[in-house]
Chains A and B, each alone.
Chain A
Amino acid sequence: MSRIPRSLLDAAAVNRPLRGRAAIAGAATYGCGEAPGMDDMTLLARAAHAAVQDAGLTMRDIDGLATCSVNASMWTLPVIEHLGLNPTYVDGTMVGGSSFIAHLLPAVRALEAGQCNAVLVCYGSAQRSATFGRKESVAARRFLDPQPYEFPYEPVLPVTAYALAAARHMHEFGTTRAQLAEVAVAARAWAQQNPEAFARDPLTIEDVLAARPIASPLTVRDCCLVTDGGGALVLVRAERARGLPQPPVYVLGNATAIWNRQISCMPDLTTTAAVQSSAQAYAMAGLSAADMDMAQVYDAFTINTLLFLEDLGFCAKGEAGAFVQDGGIAPGGRLAVNTNGGGLSCVHPGMYGIFALIEAVRQLRGQAGQRQLARHRTAVVHGNGGTLSSQSTAVLGTSDTL
C-alpha cells in the first residue's frame, strides 16, 4: 500500500543559482509564553517591528510580506492595513506550521527578480490567552475545513494522527516509548539554557512515561506546548545584507513538499514528505546532512523529531530511536537539535515554523547566549504542517558557507 510519490524537480539545476542570493538580516520574537491581553495582530506587529529594527531598517523599507494565520484566511490584508504597508510582493500561502519556512524560496525569487527589496516574514498567535483561543479555533475549523472521512471516528486532532505514526514506527522498527521520551527530555534540557523558553522545570524519561495518556502511545509530555508568541524575519538581497548591522544568515536552500492532508491518506506513516523537501533543499545548497552543525525541526510531538532526523538524512530509516538515546540530541550530544527547547519546551503558538528559523538565525549569528553552539556555520531548519502533511526544509549558512 506504500506509494511514495516522486518529484521530477532537479533542484540543483533549477534553484542552485538562487543559493545565497538572499539573507535573513533581521529576526525577533515577541511575547513568547503567556501574553495576557495580547491578540494575534499585536504579537505579530511587535515582533515585526523588532525584527525590522534588528535589521537596521525601518517599516518604510518593507515592500514584501509573507504571513498567514490559523484562523483568518485573508490574513495578509489586515496585516498590510495594520502595519501600513504597500507591498509589491505578497505571499499568504498557508500550509500549516511549515509556512514561514515555505515562504523563503518564493521570497528569495522575488528579491532576486527585483519584485521587492525587503520581505517581512511574520506571525503572531495568542492562542493560549485569547478569548477565541485554541479550543474555539479547533471547533470552528471542524465546520470551515471538514474531514468527513475521519471526523466520524472522533480522532482528537492533531495528536491522534501523530500517535498513529508513532505506533507504526514502534511496530516497524522496534522504537521504544523511552526513546520517544528522550526527545522531550532533550528538548527540556535545551530549554533550561534558554531564558525565553516557557517550560524549564526538570523532566525525566520516567516523568514523560508516567504523564497523563492522551492517545497511545503518546502522553501529554510527548505533546508540544500551547503558548502565545510572535516571530518575524526580514529578508533582503545578499549584497544589501552585507551592509546591515547583523551578520547575514544566507538562505542556501529551501524546498517544500506536500503529499496529503489527512493522516489516513498519508502513503506511509513512517516516511514523510520531508524526504523530498530535504533532498531538494540540500540539492539547492550543494550540502548534505553531514555538513549541518545543527538541526532545528518542528517537534509538535516527540515522534516528529524521530521522523525528521531520519527523513533529513541524519540516520537511516528506523534508526532515530537509537540516535536520540542516551542524550543523543540533548546538550553535549551527537547532534544539536532544537537548541531553544523546541515546540515541546520553548514556544508553540499554533504554528512553530518561524520560531525554528529564528533559533537557527540566533545560533548562526553566535547570539544564542548560554546555549550557543561552538560550531555554528550551517543549519537545517525543518517545518511540518497539518498532520504530517506539509513539509518544508531550509538550509541556512553564515558567510563562511558562500
Chain B
Amino acid sequence: MLAPMHLSAQTHYQAELDAGRFCIQQCPQCGQHVFTPRELCPHCGASPLRWVRAGGLGTVYSTSTIARKQDAGGDYNVALIDLDEGVRMMARVEGVAPGAVRIGQRVRAHVAQHGGRGLVLFQPAGEGGAA
C-alpha cells in the first residue's frame, strides 16, 4: 500500500492560487499570520499552521521599477506589500505605470492566471480601500 501523499506548503499555496484563491497561513497557537508558507510558526514554533483566505488589502512597503528593453516587454514593477493581516510579500502592482507606484499606497490583490498557474498581483485600491 502506498503511503499517503503529503502536500508541501508551497504546493498547497500554489494549488489554491491555481484555483483562484489567495490563501496565507495562520498559527493556531499564537494567532499570527504567516507568509511565506512554511511548516512551523516562526513566532512561537507551533505546527501545523492552518490555511486562511487572505483579505487581499495591503499597503505598498517598497517599490522599484525594473528596467527592461521595450521589445522584451518594457519596464515593470516589483513591490513589497504589507498585507493587512500583518505579513509582507513580494508582488507586482499593475494598473498604473511602474514608476507611479508609491510607498504607502493602498492596494488590492487579485489572482491572475498565467498558463494555468495562479499568481497574486495587486492594483491600486482606490479611495477608502473598501474590500
Contact = CB atoms under 8 A, between A and B. Distances in A.
- Chain B interface main SS type: strand
Given A155-B78, A262-B36, A164 B64 contact: yes
B65 A264 contact: no
A176 to B, nearest CB: 15
Contacts, number: 76
Contact of A149 (B36, B62, B67, B103): B36
Given A1-B82, A153-B78, A164 B88 contact: no
Interface centre among B10, B63, B66, B92 (most CB of A within 10 A): B66
A148 interface: yes
Contacts of B37: 149
A165 B62 contact: yes
Given A164-B62, A171-B103, A269-B61, A149 B78 contact: no
B36 A215 contact: no
B90 to A, nearest CB: 4
Given A1-B61, A264-B90, A155 B66 contact: yes
Interface in A245-292: 262-265, 269
Contact of A264 (B14, B89, B119): B89
Contacts of B65: 213, 215-216
Given A1-B88, A168-B103, A264 B80 contact: yes
A263 B67 contact: no
Interface residues of B, number: 28
A65 interface: no
Interface string A162-202: 01110110010000000000000000000000000000000
B62 A168 contact: yes
A156 interface: yes
Interface string B10-48: 100010000000000000000000011100000000000
A327 B7 CA distance: 55
Interface of B: 10, 14, 35-37, 61-67, 76, 78-80, 82, 86-92, 99, 103-104, 119
Interface of A: 1, 148-150, 152-156, 160, 163-165, 167-168, 171, 212-217, 262-265, 269
18 contacts: A1-B61, A1-B88, A148-B10, A149-B90, A153-B78, A153-B90, A153-B91, A155-B90, A164-B78, A167-B62, A167-B64, A168-B62, A213-B67, A214-B67, A215-B66, A263-B80, A264-B88, A264-B90
